[in-house]
Every structure is written in C-alpha cells, then in structure tokens.
Chain A
Amino acid sequence: MTIPVDLMYARSHEWIKIEGDSVSVGISHYAQDQLGEVVYVELPEVGTAFAVGDELGTLESVKAVSEFLAPVAGEVLEVNTRLEDEPNLVNDDPYGNGWLVKLSGSAEGGEFLDAAGYKEFLEQESA
C-alpha cells in the first residue's frame, strides 16, 4: 500500500498536491484497492465551484458506485480527460496519471493528514 510523502490526505481518502495556485486531487492507493477495478469516472465541468466536502464526481467499479469529495474549496481548473477512455489509470497509477481534478485555491479550510498520519488512520480504520 503506497502512500507518497509529498502529498496530503483527506480522511475520505482523497489526496491533494499543491502546485502554485492549483490543487491536484486524486484518490489514494488504498481507496482504489477498496473500490476494485474502476470502469467509469464521472468528472465535474471545468469552471464549476465547490465547497469543502461537496461531491466532486463519481467512480464506478464492478461492485459499486462511489463519490469522491472536494477536499478543498475552489473552482475546477482542469479535469483528467484521459479517464474517459482509460478509467483503469485510477487503479494503475492513482498518484500519477490517475489524478482526477485540478481545483483553484489552497489547502486552507480542508483537514489533511500527512503520509504518516494517513498510514496511522488506515491502520485504525481496518482494526
């Protein structure tokens, strides 16, 4: 179960990476493993504004449909259009090519764990 140290994690299993004024959002390795093979990704429209905790989009696997939430408040700057044809990127490369959305804004207002904190959180969850 990989948990890169250069990312921050929400308790709802999204990761964020801050690059200037843009916040990249994806789901963790643990989350994609729990979901199983993703077969369809529904992404928000560029320009839509979200508050922390709003439903950003949905991930459909063979087992279930799950939503992913906005870990920070902001406007959608860009979505990962590759996922339309290659939803498996969420499973194969959750921290890289499987990113979901880029939002404007900063980490302010969101609650995040660092890699060590997230690892501990996962251990508590599965206990």
Chain B
Amino acid sequence: MKRRAIRSEPLFFERNSRRVRRQGYLLPVLDVPEVTPSEVLPPELIRKPDPHFPDISEMEVVQHFHRLSQLNYAVDEGLYPLGSCTMKYNPRINEEIARLPGFASLHPLQPQSQIQGALRLIWELEESLKAITGMPGATLQPAAGAHGELTGILMIRKALEARGEKREIVLVPDSAHGTNPATATFAGYRAQEIPSADDGTVDLGALDRMMDDTVAALMLTVPNTLGIFEHQILEIADLVHSRGGFIYMDGANLNSFVGRALPGLMGADAMHINLHKTFSTPHGGGGPGAGPVTVSEALLPHLPVPKVQRDDNGFELLWKDPASIGQMRGFYGNFLILVRALTYIWSLGAEGLRSMSDVAVLYANLVRHRLNGAYHLKFDAPSLHEVVFDDSIQTRHEVHNVDIAKRLLDYGFHPPTMSFPLIVHGALMIEPAESVAPDEIEAFCDAMLAIAEEAESDPGLVRSAPHDTPVGRVDEVRAARNLKVTWTPDDEG
C-alpha cells in the first residue's frame, strides 16, 4: 500500500480553526456549584483573549504523535554516525530486565532489607566498572557525563584542600569537549587551554611550561576527540603528578579500548563513563542518563555518599563519611539506567566487551580507509573508534561541511558530527560504533563518496540539499537571530 507522504505536520493549535468542534475527553458531570472566574479572582488574573485550546479528538492526538515519530530518525532505523556520541544499538534485553517488577516497582524509601537485590546490582556494576577501568573506587550517582565531570573535579578539589592547597587552574586541551572548561569553571577553577602538537595530541612542551603549582588538574580525553590515542599519556601523567596535580580523564571515548587498556594504569585519578555511550543505555529522550565516575587510590576517601557497602550480612548504604564530597544526586542516581548497563555488560561478558571495542575501531578504520582521499584528513595519525575529516577538498567548489551533512539526509543517513573538534576547520567527525552490519557501513561510505563526486560535478545540488526530506534546508541563522519558541494566535494564517 502506498504510504501518504508526510510533508508537514501542523501543530495542534494550527489545525484548530474553522473546523467542526470536537472533544478528546468528556469531563464528568459537575458536582460542585459553578462559579465564573470574576466571582473568585482579581480582574488582573483573568485572561481576556480566547486561549485557543485546540479542539481535537483522541485519535487525532495519537495520529499526530505517530506521524511526528515517523519524521524522526533513530538508532533503530540505521547508521547514526555522530562522532563523540557512540550511538550504538540499545539491546531489547536491557529493557526487558529494567521492567522486571523487582527493579521497576521499587520505592526509593523502601527499607534496605527489602532492596538487597538492587543494592547488589549497584555493587556489581561498580565492581565491573572498576575492573574495566583498572581503578579502585566508583560512584554511580552522577546523572550524566558532565555531571560525572563535576563530581570528579569536586573530588580533586577536596583532595587538594585536604593537603592544605588551593590551586586555581584546570588545564584543558584545545581539542576538548566543551563540557571540560565548563566543568572547571563550575567547580570554581579557571580553565586554561593547552595547544595540540602537529599530530593532534597534547603538546608535551607546552604542558611542561604550563604545569605548575597553581594547576589543580589536567582534563584529558583518551583517545582524544580526533580518535587519536595520547601516545605520551604516561609522560603526561608523570609530569602532572610530579607537580602535585591530578589527571581527570574524560571517558567519552571509552568505547574504543574496553578490554584492551586500563585508564588506571595510564595514571587517571578520576574518569567518568557515559553509560549511554559505551554501555548501550538510551540517549536523550529514551531515558535519563548516567555518568558514573571511577577514581584512583588518592580520591577514594572523597567519593560521594551514599556508598554501597558489602559485609557478611549483605549490602547496605553508608550515608556518613567525613571526607566525602557529599551527595551528588537524589537517592542513588538514575537506578534503572544502571540496570540496563549491567545487563549489557553481563550479556556481552569480558570477551564480548573486548570484541565490541575491536569492531568499533575496525569500522571507524574501514570508513577512514574508504573516504581518505575523497575527503581531507587533517591529522593522519592512526585513529581508533572515530575519524575526523574536513571539507577543504569540497570548499574549492563552495561546498561546506553543512552541505555534505544535509545531502546525507537525502541518502537516508543521519549526518556525522560537524564543526567539532574546533581544531579542525570544517570538521566531519564520524563514529560508526560497532552495532550495525558491515553492509550499512559500506552503504554509508558509498553515499559519502557519491556526495564528494556531486560536490565536483553538481555543487549546486549539494549546496541546496536536502531535497527528499519532509522539511527542506532550515535557515539556522534566522532561527538563531530571531529566536521564537512559542506559538500565538497571531501566527495563524
């Protein structure tokens, strides 16, 4: 059957006017005396213009949201190669386990004797993450990666205070995620940028010059946002530690080396882990996030409370600990996300997790190999789970990264991350992740190569893309300059 093309889906408010009145819901018969607003409210609180509530039936509501969902693109639909985001498949078994009544129906204030299973799950996930990172302590409380960063930096601040030191600066490479300097600022430090060397990794000479007794920590993403492993990580960590600083590791790119390398051995003092990246819990609207943090010996005393403790009688929550930074999240974080992550870890097992990372790296290098030459690679050091091209070959034809991204929509793929990291002008940052079939990766590369070809033969076609989507090229500049996020009856017609 032919599907009706969805070209645009009006707002409820827009479909309201000049139609037969309908009702989606019948209110029960009024069983209290009816009053008019003017009898009970001061005049300035009474709305005069018609509020324009839409008249729509229940089925129209269902159809509206169903159509919107069909306009969307999701991991379940195809490759979603957003670099630095690790958009992997969310296995259905995660959902099945998270819906078990023993997890889903818990009350956060239930007596600890009744939630031993839940406490054990927290303990087990902490143990798994400690093993995966090679670090002796963990907290699962933070609600997202950036929240994990803050938790880590606050622990570092606490450790410095315990030494009687007050340092002011946090060093951040120029290739870092924007959350790193934001975290440093939020935790009361001043973020200072370290330049990258020619191969895209940290410039050790610059670090040597900048690392003094005013620097609290270096925040480092490993591998970095170019997908390149910091090959001097041991020298970097030694340098920072020998001058009294700490290493904060941004675990956004952990998916590239699980089972192959241990951040604990690289000298990390704190590291957050984005469960929605490496450990397959949903991104964004699919559920809340979680950004557990693992820590080194030096930060162990400062972990947030409550902590899950195990003794002969079972598990219990420890709420009091004088050296702790305190509580970072209500109760114990986003618990059902932790259930999904542990399900993923246990269903893959150690071998499975290792091949997860191996395949993620293999796929990224397949993309790198196939697209290199058609797209320019500014930093061509070997890379792991993602690869960053730029648009400098295409800009000769006045085709920019945004045009390439929009044209990919016509080929049925979600575009890669654009214009990040900032050290690559016109960046196209591709991270396929391991979960799709190899054919899908090849099809994506075919599309990218076809677009490179079009950029030469018919640049106008690429510049005006997308052509086959329900909504065409959006005027982002106008949208940003004239921000308008509400609908009013004046917009009608």
From B422, B476, B481, residue with most partner A Cβ within 10 Å: B481
Evaluate contact between B477 and A62: CB separation under 8 angstroms: yes
Q: Which residues of A contact B481 (CB under 8 A)?
A: 39-40, 87-88
Evaluate contact between A64 and B422: CB separation under 8 angstroms: yes
A124 within 8 A of B: no
Q: Which residues of B contact A88 (CB under 8 A)?
A: 481
Evaluate contact between B477 and A34: CB separation under 8 angstroms: no
Against A, the Cβ 8 Å flags (1 = close, 0 = not) of B453-490 are 00000000000000000000000110011000000000
The interface size bin for chain B is: under 10
* A87 to B480 CA separation, bound complex (whole angstroms): 11
Evaluate contact between B422 and A62: CB separation under 8 angstroms: no
Q: Which residues of B contact A34 (CB under 8 A)?
A: 425
Evaluate contact between A62 and B425: CB separation under 8 angstroms: no
A82 within 8 A of B: no
Against B, the Cβ 8 Å flags (1 = close, 0 = not) of A63-99 are 1100000000000000000000001100000000000
Evaluate contact between A63 and B480: CB separation under 8 angstroms: no
B327 within 8 A of A: no
The interface size bin for chain A is: 10 to 19
Q: Report A9 CB to chain B, min CB distance, Å.
A: 20
A40 nearest CB neighbor, chain B only? B480
* A70 to B381 CA separation, bound complex (whole angstroms): 36
Q: Which residues of B contact A60 (CB under 8 A)?
A: 480
Q: Report B195 CB to chain A, min CB distance, Å.
A: 14
Q: Report A42 CB to chain B, min CB distance, Å.
A: 14
Q: Which residues of A contact B480 (CB under 8 A)?
A: 39-40, 60, 62
Q: Which of B170-199 contact A (CB under 8 A)?
A: none
Chain A interface, >50% SS class: loop
Q: Which of A92-111 contact B (CB under 8 A)?
A: none
B419 within 8 A of A: yes
* A69 to B481 CA separation, bound complex (whole angstroms): 23
Q: Report B394 CB to chain A, min CB distance, Å.
A: 16
Q: Which residues of B contact A63 (CB under 8 A)?
A: 418-419
Q: Which residues of B contact A37 (CB under 8 A)?
A: 477
Q: Which residues of A contact B422 (CB under 8 A)?
A: 64
* A62 to B478 CA separation, bound complex (whole angstroms): 10
Evaluate contact between A64 and B419: CB separation under 8 angstroms: yes
A37 nearest CB neighbor, chain B only? B477
Q: Which residues of B contact A62 (CB under 8 A)?
A: 476-477, 480
Q: Which of B371-425 contact A (CB under 8 A)?
A: 418-419, 422, 425
* A87 to B481 CA separation, bound complex (whole angstroms): 8
B477 nearest CB neighbor, chain A only? A37
B178 nearest CB neighbor, chain A only? A65
Q: Report A12 CB to chain B, min CB distance, Å.
A: 13
* A40 to B476 CA separation, bound complex (whole angstroms): 13
A85 nearest CB neighbor, chain B only? B481
* A62 to B419 CA separation, bound complex (whole angstroms): 10
Q: Report A22 CB to chain B, min CB distance, Å.
A: 29
Q: Which of A9-67 contact B (CB under 8 A)?
A: 34, 37, 39-40, 60, 62-64
Q: Which residues of B contact A87 (CB under 8 A)?
A: 481
Q: Report A28 CB to chain B, min CB distance, Å.
A: 16
* A62 to B481 CA separation, bound complex (whole angstroms): 10
* A60 to B178 CA separation, bound complex (whole angstroms): 14
Q: Which residues of B contact A64 (CB under 8 A)?
A: 419, 422
* A87 to B477 CA separation, bound complex (whole angstroms): 11
From A60, A63, A64, residue with most partner B Cβ within 10 Å: A63
Can you list the 6 inter-chain pairs with the closest CB atoms, starting with the nearest?
Answer: A39-B480, A37-B477, A63-B419, A62-B476, A39-B481, A62-B477
The interface of chain A, by Cβ under 8 A from chain B, is 34, 37, 39-40, 60, 62-64, 87-88
Q: Would you mind naming 17 contact pairs between A and B with Cβ atoms under 8 Å apart?
A: A34-B425, A37-B477, A39-B477, A39-B480, A39-B481, A40-B480, A40-B481, A60-B480, A62-B476, A62-B477, A62-B480, A63-B418, A63-B419, A64-B419, A64-B422, A87-B481, A88-B481
Q: 8 other contacts beyond A40-B480, A64-B419, with CB at 8 A cut-off?
A: A39-B480, A39-B481, A40-B481, A60-B480, A62-B477, A63-B418, A63-B419, A64-B422
